[in-house]
Amino acid sequence: MTTTTKKSLVVLGAGTAGTMVANKLRHRLPRTEWTITVVDKTDIHDYQPGYLFIPFGLNAPEQIRRTKHALIGDDVELVLAEVETVDPEARTVTLTDGRTLSYDYLVIASGTTPRPDQTPGMLGDEWHRSVGEFYTYDGAVALRDQLRAFAGGRLVVHITELPFKCPVAPLEFTFLADDYLKGRGIRERTELVFVTPLDGAFTKPVASRELGHLLKEKGVVVETDFMVESIDQERKVLISYDEREVPYDQLVTIPLNMGADFVARSGLGDDLNYVPVDKHTMQSTAHPEIFALGDAGNLPTSKAGSVAHFSVEVFVENFMELIAGKPMTHSFDGHANCFVESGGGKALLLDFNYDTEPLMGTFPLPKVGPMTLLKESRANHIGKLAFRHIYWNLLLPGRPVGLPSAMSMTGKIPART
């Protein structure tokens, strides 16, 4: 009797992309022929878009947190451990506890992480106090307490460097802070400042113009082309490489983001530990049996949940073709859509890809919507709030969400110039 050795798929990371991949492929790969193993260092899965709302008391922290074991199918092995290195020649993953996993195919979905240690002076006695952030669970909770005690002064929202995950979130925080301060009756006593390394509000010119108008309408001071060199916590100032200084009473910073350290140790990453991949297939440019999904790759588009969602859809179809010995025929077009909370119970919606600027029109249905593109609406706000339910109950389990992975041009028009 002949025993057939199963092929193995190892997924490094159980965030949005890794969980989706595991749950989608467990239904597509025969259990008699394949094993799927997911590795992550913690059993906690946070709905990261919810971090934005915690500082303003709009989300209870426990609403955004679940265990990974509850989100990954029983027929997928979840290994709770940290990755030490990947050996692409031997096709092995070594864990920090000494265990080794072999793979036939590897998906790196280890995301991106805020690295305050990379900016001199960012970490220190005032970290998570007068120097706050909302890109981690602990940071968002600490910032909630800081804002409750804030009585007015200079509130500075600061972006260190691109890329970073959810690139509209600093703008959303600024708009929500304007609302929050008005609600507390201290907006007139507060100077709200937005500091960015960009030459405008956002990376896409059309969206930058619209969002820049909103900042101006809300009386937000914008400091552009600011490349931070250090933070002086004692003097409470941001210092740029060209020696400009921005003082603050409360700083809300988005630290430099970097990929996982094991990517660097394995020689698989660029200077920021992101895996170089083909932007249409997410396949490693150096090792064809390795793919990087979600925020772990160097795709030239937003590090956002929608990109993880749409690119995973493309990857799954390509992977089934690949293991059948066929060419991969599906292509990811860089599709991203991002809700932008603008305050007052409204939000904008951006829809774009590698080649197309955000357009005007309706989403997801032409003329029907119900959401509007590049325009504030109550429906967009409701859509953003409703997405948490979709995330837990459809997206992560790998069920159809009903949105095509490729950007549709139907019913859309160029933005006004």
**Per-residue pLDDT at 197:** 96
The CATH topology of domain 116-254 is FAD/NAD(P)-binding domain (3.50.50)
Fold category of 7-112+259-323 in CATH: FAD/NAD(P)-binding domain (3.50.50)
Q: Which residue ranges of the chain lie beneath pLDDT 70?
A: 1-4, 416-417
pTM of the model: 0.95
At residue 13, the 3 state secondary structure works out as: coil
| pLDDT for the residue 410 | 84
Which residues have CB under 8 Å from 230's CB, separation 6+? 119, 120, 121, 239
Residue intervals in the chain for CATH 3.50.50.60: 7-112+259-323, 116-254
pLDDT at 16: 97
pLDDT at 3: 54
> How much is the pLDDT for 364?
87
User: Which residues touch 16 (CB under 8 Å, ≥6 apart)?
Assistant: 294, 305, 308, 309, 391, 395, 396
- pLDDT value at residue 1: 43
Tell me which long-range contacts 134-139 makes (C-beta under 8 A, separation of at least 24): 134/51, 134/52, 134/54, 134/55, 134/169, 134/173, 134/252, 135/48, 135/51, 135/164, 135/165, 135/169, 135/254, 135/255, 136/51, 137/46, 137/51, 137/61, 137/64, 137/65, 139/51, 139/114
Cβ-proximal residues to 241 (8 Å cutoff; 6+ apart), any chain: 227, 228, 229
Q: What is the pLDDT of residue 52?
A: 97
Residue 364 structure tokens: 């997801």
DSSP E strand boundaries for 173-243: 190-195, 221-223, 228-232, 237-240
DSSP strand pairing (7-12 vs 34-40): parallel
Asked if 88 and 212 count as a contact pair (C-beta separation under 8 A), the reply is no
Element (H, E) at 137: helix 137-149
